[in-house]
Amino acid sequence: MQISSRFTVGLHILTAIDFFHKDYKVTSDFLAGSIGTNPVLIRRLLGQLRDAKLITVPRGTGGCELAKPLNEITFWDVYQAVDAIEDDSLFRMHDHPNPKCPVGRNIGALLGDKLASIQAAMEEKMKQYTLADLHEGLDELLKQEAAI
C-alpha cells in the first residue's frame, strides 16, 4: 500500500513552476528534466493540475504558471488533483478473507472505522501544508548550500 508517486511529482511540478517561471519557459520537457521522467507523464499530470485550476497552460506559447498564490495551494489540493489513491480510500482490504474464520469474517468491521479515522487525520494534515511552505523551505536549503 502506497500513495502514488503522482502526488510527489505533482508537488515537484508546482514547486518547479514557482521557482523557474520568471527565468524559463516551464514546459513538460523542462519539468521532465527536473523530475527525471518521461514528458508524456508530465503532460498528463499538467492536465490534471490544470483541470483542478492549480495551473494555467496558455495555448501556443508553451509554459505553465501557477493559477493561485502559493499560500492557497495545499498539499490536499494536489493530492486530489492527481488522483493519488484509488476509489478515495487509502487502505484497501484484501479480497477474500475466509468467512469461516472468526477473524476473517470480522476483520473488515474491526478495521473500517479505524482506517477511515487514520485517513481523515492524514487528509486534515495535508490541508495545513501549502506551496508557500515548499517555497520557504527551498529558499532555506539553497541558502545553506550557498554557505558551504
Q: What is the DSSP letter of 52?
A: T
* Average pLDDT of span 113-136: 95
What are the tens digits of pLDDT across the range 19-66? 999 999 999 999 999 999 999 999 999 999 999 999 998 877 678 999
Number of neighbouring beta carbons within 10 Å of residue 41: 16
What average pLDDT does the chain have? 92
Residue 7 contacts residue 82 (beta carbons within 8 Å)? yes
Domain boundaries, given as residue ranges, for the chain: 6-147
Q: Is the pTM of this model over 0.75?
A: yes
Q: Does domain 6-147 have CATH number 3.40.50.300?
A: no
